[in-house]
A and B are shown apart, each in its own frame.
Chain A
Amino acid sequence: MPTLRDIKRRINAVKNTRQITKAMKMVAAAKLRKAQMRMLQMRPYAERMNEVLRALSAATDTEIHPLLAFRPRKSIELMVITSDRGLCGAFNSNILRAASRLIQEKKGEGFDKITISVVGKKARDYFKRRNIEIRKAWTGLSGNLTYSDAQEIAKDIIDSYLDHVMDEVIILYNRFKTVMTQEVTSFRLLPYTMPESHEERLETTSSVYIFEPSRQEIYNQLLPKNIEIQIYSALLESQASEEAARMTAMENATKNADDMIENLTLQFNKARQASITKELMDIVGGVEALK
């Protein structure tokens, strides 16, 4: 049986924790609003850009730009986007579990080499702990994500791709669905077109575009830019998801703390009542003895 003072101490400890989780929840909510707005604004642009490029690249000669060229797919890179900080529920573990599964899957498909690049400290630490080599890690982005961060990542990816470090790039990130749900999503960043879909598209696309200034010029501008945009939008989605997950997690923590405080208070009152009753019994007993 814990003493009154023990229970009191525990109540205070839980109250302190609740204060922290509550504050974290509010901070996450504020950050979420900002991140969500940026992400929602970006979405139509990223989607349209992608749509246009897939249509364009399907209707064109693949020789025109090295980013479009087909080549045997021997090695594959997995880019895993997580957060830098924890306390956001299953946000990171979901994505890392999916990453491990995907690695296994790709190994089964007969790729010679699988490389990993990560965004966020959580993914970096996860792979480090498992002694899996990381080709490149970007950390410290969450919170102050800018377009130039995406440009930097895109440049590295494009350069490595053109240097044949890898022949395919897949991005794995948390897509923001609602505040309550985030969806682990993967998409292929490179190559732009796969041979199968290309042949199919060539037959169905009858429209031939007029290019101004020149086809070459436009592809030179658009292809790298699209990579930047796709990476940037994945980063934005991930960031909004992170804050949403944190908000939900902290909300639950606060609720749990409330429950605990209620239980402990009940215990405290019971214990207090018991000690009062005991004291009364003693007094009554003493009075009786004096008679």
Chain B
Amino acid sequence: MEGKIRLEVVTPYGLVFSDDVDEIIAPGSEGEFGVLPNHAPMFTTLKIGMLTYRKGNHTGYLFVNWGHAEVTHDRVLILADSAEKAEDIDVERALAAKKRAEERLKQAEKFDQARATAALERAVTRTKVAEKAK
């Protein structure tokens, strides 16, 4: 369609999102970036964060956990390790994960700190994205 971008979010657990949208803001590893139709071809890595898209007056949010994005002039393809739509996020699970990660961070000698930090970041971002959906 003219003036639209096809946004596809794919993870090993299935196709999470596929629709034509007007604008996308994605969490690139070097900072957030926005995509409008006719963007120059780009390939980038993503970090844990929130993906925002706008379709007409509707704004949607997705949680993205690492991955890569391929941008061509009419398509954005997100290959994420995992991703969820804001409304599908299990907030209780995220809060439990946050608590667990915080406890692990306190016991520095027992747990892998890098992993706990990543888990904490995921949990915090998940709850943040979930709140947007309300």
User: Which chain A residues have a beta carbon within 8 Å of chain B's beta carbons?
Assistant: 40-42, 44-45, 48-49, 52, 56, 147, 207-213, 217-218, 221-222, 229, 232
Contact = CB atoms under 8 A, between A and B. Distances in A.
Given A41-B13, A45-B10, A52-B77, A209 B42 contact: yes
B79 to A, nearest CB: 6
Contacts of B117: none
B41 A42 contact: no
Given A52-B77, A212-B29, A212-B30, A45 B11 contact: yes
B48 to A, nearest CB: 15
Nearest to B43: A209
Given A212-B28, A213-B30, A48 B13 contact: no
Interface residues of B, number: 22
Contact of B12 (A41, A209, A222): A41
Contacts of A212: 28-30, 33, 42-45
Interface string B58-97: 0000000000101010000101000000000000000000
A42 B42 contact: no
A49 to B, nearest CB: 6
**B contact face: mostly helix, strand, loop, or mixed:** strand
A147 B29 contact: no
18 contacts: A41-B12, A42-B12, A45-B12, A49-B79, A52-B77, A56-B43, A208-B41, A209-B41, A209-B42, A210-B42, A210-B43, A211-B43, A212-B29, A212-B43, A213-B30, A218-B43, A222-B68, A232-B12
Contacts of B12: 41-42, 45, 147, 229, 232
Contacts of A56: 43
Contacts of B56: none
**A contact face: mostly helix, strand, loop, or mixed:** helix
Interface string B28-49: 1110010000001111110000
B23 to A, nearest CB: 19
A52 B72 contact: no
Contacts of B41: 207-210
A240 B13 CA distance: 16
A194 B43 CA distance: 23
Contact of B72 (A45, A207, A229): A207
A210 B15 contact: no
A42 B13 CA distance: 6
